[in-house]
Amino acid sequence: MSKVKLSSLKVDLSAEREGDWVRSSIDGVEFKVRGLQHPAYQIEQRKWLRQLAQQNRQNADVSPDEIYKVTTKMLMTHILIDWRGMDVPCSEDLKREVAEDPSYRDVVRAIEECAAKVGQSQIEMVEDDTKN
């Protein structure tokens, strides 16, 4: 009987923090991204959530467009490093354009999916030599 090798479940923390290339759901496109657990991203996200909670105490609604704009800006600032397979090279100006234009949501979704995958463990199985 096979069992999961515990050490194979370790996350690659270096890839999460420094970034790695991940194939996206967009055919032929890869993104070099940091993981969603990247400290700078997490800190900014928590800071924004605290501000949001404060606004909600004042009964100030936050529009879906505002939520999209802020979260996308954080992704572009802290998570996306580069891309390949696009007709134009990645640049700070293009990252800003993608972040500000909701019609690029498929690109943003692909970047977020890649960021969720970077550094993921690769499950390995081992044979169980013990007899019952």
Characterize 93-114 residue by residue with b for buried, 16 or more Cβ atoms within 10 angstroms of its Cβ, and e for exposed: eebeebbeeeebeebbebbbeb
pLDDT of residue 12: 87
What's the whole-model pTM score? 0.83
**Distance between CA atoms of 128 and 132, rounded to whole angstroms?**
11
Mean per-residue pLDDT over the chain, rounded? 90
The residues pairing with 125 across neighbouring beta strands, listed in sequence order, are 4
Q: Could you tell me which residues come within 8 angstroms of residue 30 by beta carbon, excluding any fewer than 6 positions away?
A: 21, 22, 23, 24, 83, 84, 85, 114
In terms of DSSP bridges, do strands 30-33 and 80-84 run parallel, antiparallel, or are they unpaired? antiparallel
Tens digit of each residue's pLDDT (9 = 90 or more) over 70-117: 899 999 999 999 999 999 999 999 999 999 999 999 999 999 999 999
Please name which of 28, 74, 81 lies closest in space to residue 51, comparing C-alpha atoms. 74
